[in-house]
Amino acid sequence: MKITSLAMLLALPVLLSVSACGKEAPTMEEAADKASSAVSSAVEKVQNLDTEQINKFAKIAAQIEKEPAKMEAFLAEHGVSKEMFQKTLEKIQSDPNMKKMFDEAKEMAKNAM
C-alpha cells in the first residue's frame, strides 16, 4: 500500500503540471507506448553503431591488405590505434555473426578499391 501511495505522490506534480498547461495527462498505455518506442530506438542505434564499426574496421583491413606499408597512416586516418584495431579484430573473429559481416564488408571494400 505504501508503494502505491508513494507512486501517486510522485505522479501528482506531473499530473498537475500537465493539467496546468491545458493538456490532458497521457494514459498509462500511451506512456508505455512512448517508453517502448524509446527503448526500441535506442537498441536500433546501438545495433547500427556495431554494424558501422564492423564496416569501418573491414575497410581499414582491406586498405592494409592492399598496402601494408601504409598501415599506420590508414589507422590514423580513421582515428584508430594499432592496439584498438587488433582488439577489435579479435572481438569480431570471436563472434560468428560479426565475422560474417566483417568478411562481407571487407570483400566489398576490396572490390570498391
Tell me 95's DSSP state. S
Q: State whether residue 78 is helix, strand or coil.
A: coil
For residues 56 and 49, is the Cβ–Cβ distance under 8 A? no
For the chain, which residues make up each domain, given as ranges? Answer: 2-112
pLDDT tens for the chain, residues 1 to 113 = 444 444 444 444 555 554 445 566 677 777 666 666 655 554 443 344 488 899 999 999 999 999 999 999 999 999 999 999 998 998 899 889 999 999 999 999 999 98
pTM for the model stands at 0.56
Outline where DSSP puts E strands in the chain. none
Tell me how far apart the alpha carbons of residues 74 and 61 are, in angstroms, rounded to a whole number: 9
